[in-house]
Amino acid sequence: MTALSKRVVLITGAGIGIGHASAKAFAALGDHVVVTDVLEAEGNATVEAIIASGGSAEFHVLDVRSTEAVDALVAGLDARLGGVDVLVANAGIAHKTALPALTDDKWDLTFDIDLKGIFRVARAVAPKMKEKKAGAIVALSSIMGVAYGWDEHVHYSAAKAGVVGLVRGLAVELAREGIRVNGMAPGYIRTAQLLSEENSLGPERAKTVGEIIPMGRIGEPEDIADVIVFLASHAARYMTGQTLVVDGGLLVGRY
């Protein structure tokens, strides 16, 4: 495949949840989507769904903890497809861990994926974006990193708060190069993470948590994906350094 006339959209953690929905949303616009994840079966399934719908996509296994792997993937995309036009840095974990059990290793693992993983991929795609004087980066934070404390998830909340600072710093540094950087802070979204009894609300609490949300329901991955698509679009051309909260009114309704 040679350089494409359509946008090349790189999405991390695109095998499930918000990443999966975002991949399908960009593909529906005619973009070529580079689906990456550590979940090989799920990543391939995302690509298969896109192709079955007439879209364009490819899958690569990628662990964002590896600088070598990130740099190699992006270098290959630069050479083969002409570079990445849109990066959606979505890969993340959220392991429920009470403070007494929160070891240095558990803290470092969350930061390595949820914060440094975004930095690694953004750093890798930036040179080609600078060369083209164009690009959009969307990084996933959370309401837990913007305004909402989450007990037994101190490491997650801290990493997601770090994403907000990373977005601001990158936005200012890259703005004159034609690159926009924005963040997305979802509220309660119906994903595998949210439905995990071990690490989040679990199925039963997910049935009732919508009662505390002004819009009366928890969000769907597509609710977030559509806003990510907006942030990467020409419609958001004068917007950079911002982290949008998309939570059905949860924060403004409770605070």
Q: Measured over all CA atoms, what is the biggest interatomic distance in the chain, rounded to whole angstroms?
A: 53
Q: What is the pLDDT of residues 11-59, one digit of tens each?
A: 999 999 999 999 999 999 999 999 999 999 999 999 999 999 999 999 9
Contact 148/209 with Cβ under 8 angstroms? no
Contact 215/248 with Cβ under 8 angstroms? yes
Angle at 63 between CA 58 and CA 68, to 5 degrees: 100
pLDDT reported for residue 5? 66
Contact 42/20 with Cβ under 8 angstroms? yes
Q: What is the pLDDT of residues 113-128, one digit of tens each?
A: 999 999 999 999 999 9
Angle at 223 between CA 239 and CA 12, to 5 degrees: 70
Q: What is the pLDDT of residues 67-110, one digit of tens each?
A: 999 999 999 999 999 999 999 999 999 898 999 999 999 999 99
CA 23, CA 60: separation in Å to the nearest integer?
13
Q: Identify whether 156 is a catalytic site residue.
A: yes
Q: Where residue 3 falls among pLDDT bands split at 50, 70, 90?
A: low
174-210: buried (b, 16+ CB within 10 Å) or exposed (e) per residue?
A: beebebbbbbbbbbbbbbebbebeebbbeeeebeebb
Q: What is the pLDDT of residues 173-219, one digit of tens each?
A: 999 999 999 999 999 887 666 554 555 555 656 566 767 889 998 89
Q: What is the DSSP letter of 219?
A: B
Residue 69 tokens, joined: 């792997």
pLDDT averaged over the chain?
92
Model confidence at 153: pLDDT above 70: yes
Residue 189 tokens, joined: 């979204």
pLDDT reported for residue 1? 43
Per annotation, catalytic residue among 156, 188, 238, 255: 156
Domains of the chain by start residue, with CATH: 8-250 (3.40.50.720)
- pTM of the predicted model as reported, rounded to 2 decimal places: 0.94
**Residue 87 phi, psi dihedral angles, 5° rounding:** -115, 125
Contact 19/12 with Cβ under 8 angstroms? yes
